[in-house]
Amino acid sequence: MKLAAGGVALVGVGCGDGGGGGRWGESGLPLVAATTTMVADLARSLGVGMVEVAALMGPEVDPHLFKPGQRDVQLLRGAEVVMYGGLHLEGRMAEMLERMERHGGRVFAVSAGLREGSVIEADGAHDPHIWGDASMWADAAAYAVERLAGYFPARAEEVRGRGEGVVASLRAVHERLKARAEEVPEGRRVLVTSHDAFRYFGRAYGFEVLSVQGIATVSEAALADMARISGVIRSRGIKAVFVESSVSPATIKRISEETGAVLGGELCSDALGAPGEMVDAGGRLVDKGTVGGMLEYNMDTIVRALR
Ligand SMILES: [Zn+2]
């Protein structure tokens, strides 16, 4: 209920300033507030040298559970523009963000720019983990370019020029990911993880995804589900299962012990690594703090464990 009150207090953020601004970051540049590390990465890559980006959530923070504190509320209030993921990714902030947007705030969800029919419906809701498919994240980026160009008309050409490079780079990542997935024999392309974050990744790159989220309590259904997943691992000869950086590894470890499938490594699902964290991904050095780099790192981890 405290959240709702916070939401009411935030109505009007970004309203009525005539676009003149006065909302500046420490660098003297206009401040853009981004919710997750993925959205912050997009904002930084599009607005480098033009805006200052402040992220509400850091690496290893679960966006589904994140609750904004006083500092975050101040950040949202002080920002010239607010960018978020949407599709209820920011579960405990979603209502507040949507309300700010409805009331004319300079606030937008990057997922609003996705192609019709591309969003996955699961368990009666939209799946918000769209960055798992680099081509969809490229669509989200193209949309963000137009929104930012609209908010900063004097810099519109600059944003569009930079945006072209960002979109092209994500499309190139998409092609590389498709090629790397081929290294795993088709029958073994099964991704067993902790929570439901890889449906888009699986659809885009040809992996069947089995997740064990929700199996925290030992109910009959949970045991049946775990038994089903273990059965698939045995019958298909799946060599490895994966833990996630922002989710408890307990159930995955149990499945690993039960089936003999090894722990294939830690995947980034709902948060990136630290910006500038360079890692090897199949002979390419990639920045785990960017969406493209994180996807290549994840794919490399998966391919090495399953092939
Ligand atoms: Zn998630």
Domain residue ranges of the chain, discontinuous segments joined by +: 2-176, 183-306
pLDDT score, position 248:
78
pLDDT at 112: 97
Report how far ligand 1's centroid is from the alpha carbon of 203 (Å): 16
What separation in Å is there between the alpha carbon of 18 and the centre of ligand 1? Answer: 36
Distance, CA 195 to ligand 1 centroid (Å)?
7
- Whole-number Å distance between alpha carbons of 26 and 180: 42
Report how far ligand 1's centroid is from the alpha carbon of 142 (Å): 23
247 Cα–ligand 1 center, Å: 9
What is the dotted CATH code of the domain comprising 2-176?
A: 3.40.50.1980
pLDDT (0 to 100) of residue 122: 86
CA of 192 to the centre of ligand 1 (A): 15
- Distance from the CA of 206 to the center of ligand 1, in angstroms? 20
Q: Do domains 2-176 and 183-306 have the same CATH topology?
A: yes
Q: What is the pLDDT of residue 219?
A: 53
What burial class does residue 118 get, using C-beta atoms within 10 Å of its C-beta: 0-12 exposed, 13-18 middle, 19+ buried? middle
Tokens of 4: 């709702």
Find the 194 Cα to ligand 1 centroid distance in Å: 10
Distance 269 CA to ligand 1 centre (A): 7
Ligand 1: distance of its center to the CA of 34 in Å?
Answer: 17
- Residue 36 CA to ligand 1 center (angstroms) comes to 11
**Mean pLDDT across the chain:** 88
Question: Ligand 1 centre and the CA of 80: distance in Å?
Answer: 27
| b/e per residue 29-54 (b: at least 16 CB within 10 A) | ebbbbbbbbbbbbbbbbbbeebbbbb
**Closest by alpha carbon to 240, among 185, 297, 183, 189?**
189
Distance 91 CA to ligand 1 centre (A): 10
The list of the chain residues with pLDDT below 50 reads: 1-22, 214-218
pLDDT value of position 212: 79
CA dihedral sign, ordered 196, 194, 86, 92: positive
Ligand 1 center to 134 CA (angstroms): 16
* pLDDT, tens only, 42-90: 999 999 999 999 999 998 788 988 999 999 999 998 899 999 999 999 9
CA of 125 to the centre of ligand 1 (A): 13
Q: What is the CATH number of domain 183-306?
A: 3.40.50.1980
In tens, the pLDDT along 229-264 reads 999 999 989 999 999 887 778 888 989 999 999 999
* pLDDT at residue 23, as a whole number: 63
